[in-house]
Each structure stands twice: as C-alpha cells, then as structure tokens.
Structure 1
C-alpha cells in the first residue's frame, strides 16, 4: 500500500463529480440517465468567444504567460469587477487561475495555519470544507434552513467567531441552495466583520449574473469597500459564459494576498491556458446581451422545477433566487431510506442523477441542477415522481 500524505487523508473525493461520473458510466452501459447532477450551463459557448480562441491559436498564442495572467486579461478583469460587481480594483490585485476553484484553493493554502477556523454557511459548495481541511484548518458550519431561504443568521455568525477564526466564506448566488444575499444582510455581516479585524472574508461570486429577483446581484465588496484590505472576491467565466472547459477563474483582493497566491501558483500550475485567457478576454469585453436571454431561460426552468417538486408528496423546495440549483427537502421520506445517499441511488436506478444533500453539509434531501433542457427536466421530474410514488 502506498502511504498517502496526512493532508490528503483529511479530504474526500467530490461527490458531485462522482455522481456525474456514475451517470456517465451507466449511459455507457446503455442506460437512459437524465443527469441533473452537473453544475454547468447547457448553452453553447458564445460564438465570439470561440472565434477568439481560434484566432489565438492561429496567431501562435500558445506559450507561457505571466503566472498571474496576461496583462490584457487582468485589465479586462479589472473592468469586469467595476462594471458587474461595483468593486474597484487594479491589475496588481488580480490573479487569473485555472478555474475559480484554484483561486479558492490558493487563497486558503496561503493563509491557513493548523488549527485555524473557517466559518462556512451550510449547506455549502462541496469543495469548501475539503480545501479548508487539506490546508490544516477546521470547518465551523454556520447552519441555514429552508424556512429562512438558506440565508445565514448574523446573530449566529457573531456567536461562532472566536480568536481562532481566520476566514468567513460566503457564496452568493449560492451553490447548492440558490440563496442570494440581500444588501441588508450583507450590511449586517460587514458590521460584524468590522468588529473582528483579524477575520478575512472570501466572497465567491462565480454565479453573479444568474439572479432572478428585482434586486439583482450585490457583492460584499460593493457594500463594504472598507473591508478591501481583507476581502477576496472570486469570479470567472465558467458559469456566466458557458466556458467550464476553458478553466478560467480570477480573484481580486489585497495585493499582499494576491502576491502570495501567485507565488503558490508559480509552483503549482504556472499560468492558466494561454488560449483560454485570450478567449476570456473576448468573453469579458465582447457582447453581454445574451446574458439576459440565458437568465430568462433559467428562470423559466426554475419555475418549472419548483412547481413540479412541490407537487410531489414528501418533497419540498424554496424558490431559489439565483444560480441554477434547487435544494430539495425529502425528510418525510427518510423512513423509507437509510440516508440521502440511498435516496439518490434509488433515483439513479430510476434514471435520474442527483446529488445527495449530505455532499453539501446538508441532510435528508438532494440537489437538482436545472441547467438542462425543459424536455430533460420534464422527463427527470416525471421519473422522480414515479420512483417515489
């Protein structure tokens, strides 16, 4: 047996990826599986982005770039943060990474010492606690409930902060719940952070354009620019521009932190793909009008899924205000199943791939991605209803 690093022993494989892989394997065996487990838009990458990637290849842009990203892309990111997130930053405060996940990984590995605590609202994105544990930190859950639309309670947050608290991780719009933090909530969180100067905060805004209410997306950095010296904001083009395979994310924050992340990246992956960076420049600087059409499509799908789920006995879900997920409560069914993993496997046998709530720090339910065609959604929802009848 090969001895593994103690750091690796502290983490588990991604259950979302595992369920997606399992669904693909069953399809390979000839099974008809509708996958609602994957977290990526089903739209085609915009044509002008594809054209930019082809042009980059034709022009020989296939060499190393600066570790933190090309000057063109970092400048485009600066403009993106100002235009779309109302956050003022500068090129030395920006790093380009191979997907938003790498930016989160580098920020936490660069700053967490053994025993540091990281507060994470639960349910959470599957990788947050794994990255914290890999870095030697301790995850402190901040539980949220469907009754509160999965929004964190600031009073509970205050009680969780200790002298060992190093980071607070925020994700709005949220994967897996679809929760969108309103400005009043962000103001209360900012006020708490002002009283705890040593606590850093990460705002994962990767789903920023996918908000369905009248308010739209508001970032913590726009609400509280005075926290800029300890706030890292993460964004990217994977979800917003259907570019998951291009693997381009970026983050903006204190220059000292970004420099540390860049140092780590120089020994990790080096620069993100040069061709993908050229495509990302086109994504950020080119036409953005398609985003409204995509958002309207996702809103229709959301309404369709929420209505169908809430019509199935023993299932319920609040209406998500953002992203493209529904977090389904199936607690009344748990007398029939050992746990939500067993429930997810039961649905997989019925031809629908979902991810159990326990993968996200939740319980007794599952996450549905409605980033699928309406035909696929209707088929999956009918199968779920039939499997649980």
Structure 2
C-alpha cells in the first residue's frame, strides 16, 4: 500500500479563504480589469512614520543583527505588559508574554498549548477563517455556536451551555469580531465569563487584535478584566497589525498563565526562535510612541463604516447590521439565495460573490469562509472613493 507524499494532517488544511479571494482580485487587476476588492483585512494606510523611523534605526544597530530571546525582547515584553494593563484591564508579568510572528502564530500556539487530541473547542460562529485550521492542527474538534444577524452575531450563555460537553476544553472569543465587527457588551461578556468560571478547567482563548478599533463610544472589554478569576486559564492573543497598519511587519503576541507561557516558549524555540528584531523594535515604538496616527486612522474607519452600512442597506436583499468594532461589515444576503440574476442562479453566498466579481468587478468574501452560507464579509479598510463605488456597483447589479 503506497503512502501519500504529503501528510494527511497538512492536506486537511484549507487555504485561507480571505487571502485566496484577495489574490484572485489582485490577479484580475494585474490583467487590467477594473476590480474593487473588499477581501483583505488590511488597513490601506502606511505604517506611521515614527514607527518606520524606529525600524530604520534598528537596522543600523548591530545588536539587532543577532539572535535574541525566543519569547521576545525584554523591552517589548514590558511594553506589552503595560498595554495589557491599560487596554485589557489585567495585570500580568513579562514572563507571561510570548512575542510571535504575527497574530496567526499566536493563535496557532494557543491552541497547540491547551488542546489535546479529541478535545472540543467552542467557537462562536461566524468565525475568522484561520481558527478551524489551527484547532484541527492541534488535534481538536471545532464546535460551532451560531448567532445570526438577528443576534448581532453574538452568542449567548444558553447557546454555549447547549453545546458544552465533558470533552469541551476551550472557548474561543473574538471581540471586536472578525468577520462581523460585533462587540460584546460588558454585561454580555461578564455573563459568559461567569459561565466559564462555573466550568472546571475550561480555557478561554481571547483574540483581542481589534480591541483598539471601536466606535460610538463602545469599549471592548476583556474577559479577564470582568471575571478576574479567569486569568489563570485565559490566553490573550493580540498584535500591532490592525491598529497600527503593520500587517506586513508580522508582529503579534500571546499573554498566558505561566505554565502555558513556558510551553509556548518551548514550542516557539523550535518553531521560529525570535521574531525579527527590526519588527520588534518597530512594535516597541508603536506601543510606546505617539498615538495620534491611530486616532486619525480610526476616524477614517468610522467615516467609512457609516457609508458602508448606509449604502449596503440600499442593496436589495442585503441586511447589514451596524458593526461597533474592527473594520468589517457582515451582510446577511440569505434573501438573495435561490434567485437568478443575469441568467445566473444564486444557490449560495459563494455563488453570489463569484457573480459579483464576474459581473461587476467587486470582490467579497462569502459566508462559507466563516461558517454558514448566506452571508458576505466586506472590509471597509480601503479608500473612500473605492468603498462607495464598489457598493454602488452592487446596488445596480442587484437592484
């Protein structure tokens, strides 16, 4: 019996749907086609100048040309400790911080550290497209807990309880959410935290990468801030990519209880060793330097958010709740499923996105990438003119 050349474990991983759509849109643009893409979760702003200058200085300093501690530069870890206290309301030590190559590595390591073969992970759905693959690689089983647009895409304690079993090892939380932009209120998150606290040995993996991108006076609470007794079984995942327009710098981190941090550090020492020292110095400047560029970017996102929601709700069949965080809108397009446009039958949100790309040059990510069909995600982290033009194309296409 012949063996496969590629391991079954790796063959089981699905390609990132968001990156796949974005790559297709870029390829069509390269062919000269007029494409407007809402696919990538990436700010269109340059990294703030003072951060870039810190990186330039770091390149010139020979001490950054060598290996450094695998878990991160001490100065950066101290800055992350301060940020965690300031923005997550939780006091931690530098020994609990692991600096990673972007938020994705932090997510992967978080699941690898706490999930064993056959363990179940409760995942509020819609979810970010990478979570299922990271859970799968750890040997875990994802258990979807679905909340639709009627719930503002936020799960309840009753729903979590209905899906909890004796195999449940962890709960994944992402607030503000990718892909929906929903933010759990203090009361909602506290209720979930108290429910977790009532379950012995249930971990929380809290993805807080968008915590500084909120609107309308909304504050993104951390579960450890509201239910402090969960600090000993919560891993917080974060990074500079979204807040500081640093997606290409690949700098994230995880904040864990000491035993989990030690395990993550051991894994990382073999996986990647230290993150690029240049990116670490840049991240240090981001966290400790002038925050006005962040406020300016947030104001632009807020303006675009309002335009996106108002205009998308003019598209027949689109139901678009107002997101309170991140830079995505998540439209319920279930009313369009089963209909025909331009001689094309729309049987799923994947069909709808393919049709919009072919017929109107608008690239969106279908709900299948984040859970059930019948939804689409659009990022409004692109220029104002393109944002409006693309939605107006959809208004004409489905009008």
Q: Post-superposition shift, 1:377?
A: 0.5
Counterpart for residue 341 of structure 1? 350
Verify: 1:89 aligned to 2:92, yes or no. Answer: yes
- SS of the residue aligned with 2:44? coil
Distance 1:68 1:134 in 2: 22
Verify: 1:157 aligned to 2:160, yes or no. Answer: yes
Counterpart for residue 356 of structure 1? 366
What does 1:123-134 correspond to in 2, within 5 Å? 123-134=126-137
Counterpart for residue 191 of structure 2? 188
1:100 touches 1:206 (CA, 8 Å); kept in 2? yes
Verify: 1:302 aligned to 2:305, yes or no. Answer: yes
Counterpart for residue 15 of structure 1? 17
Residue 33 of structure 1 is aligned with which of 4, 22, 35?
35
1:349-383 alpha-carbon deviations (Å, 9 max, x no partner): 11111100110013112100000111010111111
Distance 1:108 1:93 in 2: 16
Counterpart for residue 222 of structure 2? 219
- SS of the residue aligned with 1:56? helix
User: Which stretch shifts more, 5-14 or 178-187?
Assistant: 5-14
Counterpart for residue 52 of structure 1? 54
Q: Post-superposition shift, 1:2?
A: 5.0
What does 1:1-389 correspond to in 2, within 5 Å? 3-60=5-62, 61-336=64-339, 337-349=346-358, 350-389=360-399
Q: Post-superposition shift, 1:293?
A: 2.1
Q: Post-superposition shift, 1:292?
A: 2.2
Distance 2:41 2:81 in 1: 26
For normalisation by structure 2, the TM-score amounts to: 0.95
1:282-315 alpha-carbon deviations (Å, 9 max, x no partner): 0001011222222221111111010111111111
2:350 touches 2:373 (CA, 8 Å); kept in 1? no
2:218 touches 2:324 (CA, 8 Å); kept in 1? no
1:315 touches 1:328 (CA, 8 Å); kept in 2? yes
1:96 touches 1:248 (CA, 8 Å); kept in 2? yes
Counterpart for residue 343 of structure 2? none
For normalisation by structure 1, the TM-score amounts to: 0.98
Q: Post-superposition shift, 1:62?
A: 2.2
- Over aligned residue pairs, what C-alpha RMSD do you find? 1.2
Structure 2 unaligned segments of length 5 or more: list them: 340-345
Distance 2:31 2:269 in 1: 42
- SS of the residue aligned with 1:264? helix
- SS of the residue aligned with 2:99? strand
Distance 1:2 1:30 in 2: 40
- SS of the residue aligned with 1:110? helix
Distance 1:112 1:118 in 2: 8
Distance 1:56 1:89 in 2: 27
Counterpart for residue 342 of structure 2? none
User: Which stretch shifts more, 367-376 or 342-351?
Assistant: 342-351
1:117 touches 1:138 (CA, 8 Å); kept in 2? yes
Q: Post-superposition shift, 1:348?
A: 1.1
Distance 1:86 1:290 in 2: 23
Q: Post-superposition shift, 1:149?
A: 0.7
1:124 touches 1:175 (CA, 8 Å); kept in 2? yes
1:78-136 alpha-carbon deviations (Å, 9 max, x no partner): 11111222111100000000001101101111222111000000000001111111211
1:221 touches 1:233 (CA, 8 Å); kept in 2? no
Q: Post-superposition shift, 1:71?
A: 0.5
1:180-212 alpha-carbon deviations (Å, 9 max, x no partner): 011101111111111112110011010011111
Distance 1:332 1:193 in 2: 36
Structure 1 unaligned segments of length 5 or more: list them: none
Q: Post-superposition shift, 1:329?
A: 1.1
Distance 2:221 2:140 in 1: 29
